[in-house]
Structure 1
Amino acid sequence: MDNTPFVIERTYNAPVESVWKALTDKNEMKQWYFDLAEFKPEVGFEFQFTAKGKDGKEFIHLCKVTDVVKGQKLSYSWRYKGYEGNSLVTFELFKEGNQTRLKLTHAGLETFPASEDFARKNFVEGWTYITGTSLKQYLEKMLSQTVTT
């Protein structure tokens, strides 16, 4: 069993403040991440959302914010209603000139049931798309609107 956390890094042509807002504002999150009924970057805040697996099966994600360092770090637990396991997702932001480097770590994947639904490759594909395509495109769109207005 591989208990190595999944880690992915991406650099965006956006200031840290813009990336932080995209990670913590529920109205922005629904544009690139998941449509959350409510979200607050406060330790102890619990939220949930539903997402479909590859076969269309719905999974209710139960999350609780565990760590917040404004503009730098956001962590929350990530588990599934009705299933064993509990993991931890951490977003860390690093200012690099006019850009922001995001380091996403998802630890505890090995605690989920050993089934295709929770296979590590699914998390790799999901986070790769979310950080490399969805968030990137959202930030570029937001910045182009800022420049033109």
Structure 2
Amino acid sequence: MQNEPVVIQKTYDAPVEKIWKALTDINEIRKWYFNLAEFKAEPGFEFSFLAGHEGREFLHLCRVTTAVPNKKLSYTWRYDGFEGDSEVSFELFPEGEKTKLVLTHTGLETFPANNPDFQRSNFVMGWTHFVEVALNDYLRDGSGK
């Protein structure tokens, strides 16, 4: 089960351009996602941030691998000081005035299996929150997190 990717899908009542902006504009990212110092939707761009849960924070190290405007954003996702490399992808599919987002996080099996912080269930919980709650609330009324 740990080697299965996390896949979260949601259809939003928003045009694809608005969701792309939420995923790629640093000012919008900070309203619903993580407090990144800088972000550019350009392959090769590297960014990092501190985040965690239950009082334990991890330095996340990421590098953009794919950026196709209004279609797909992907970046590597790893943790400083720990084994493992994974990738997160956001794919956007216009459906009239709505947009379906498919988030896929692959490579979870490369993280230390004996560390409970890296259990698949934690990734499912975190990504579900961002897709179902934070981004949804941000798109609806700008409140985000």
TM-score grouping bracket, smaller chain normalisation:
over 0.9
- Whole-angstrom CA distance in 2 between matches of 1:58 and 1:130: 17
Encode CA deviations 1:37-61: one digit per residue, 9 max, x unaligned.
00000000000000022x3111000
- Whole-angstrom CA distance in 2 between matches of 1:72 and 1:44: 18
Q: What amino acid maps onto 1:113 in structure 2?
A: P
Aligned positions of 1:24-35 closer than 5 A:
24-35=24-35
Encode CA deviations 1:1-21: one digit per residue, 9 max, x unaligned.
631111110000000000000
- Whole-angstrom CA distance in 2 between matches of 1:4 and 1:125: 15
SS state at 1:50 partner: strand
SS state at 2:2 partner: coil
Q: Does 1:14 align with 2:14?
A: yes
SS state at 2:91 partner: strand
SS state at 2:9 partner: strand
Q: Structure 1 length as normaliser, TM-score?
A: 0.92
What is the alpha-carbon root mean square deviation over aligned residues? 0.9
Aligned equivalent of 1:5:
5
Q: Which consecutive unaligned segments of at least 5 residues does structure 1 have?
A: 143-149
Alignment length (residue pairs):
141
Q: Structure 2 length as normaliser, TM-score?
A: 0.95
Aligned positions of 1:48-59 closer than 5 A:
48-53=48-53, 55-59=54-58
Moved over 4 A (4+): none
- Whole-angstrom CA distance in 2 between matches of 1:126 and 1:52: 10
Aligned equivalent of 1:105:
104
Aligned positions of 1:35-74 closer than 5 A:
35-53=35-53, 55-74=54-73
Aligned equivalent of 1:85:
84
- Whole-angstrom CA distance in 2 between matches of 1:131 and 1:5: 16
Over the matched positions of the two proteins, sequence identity in percent amounts to 60
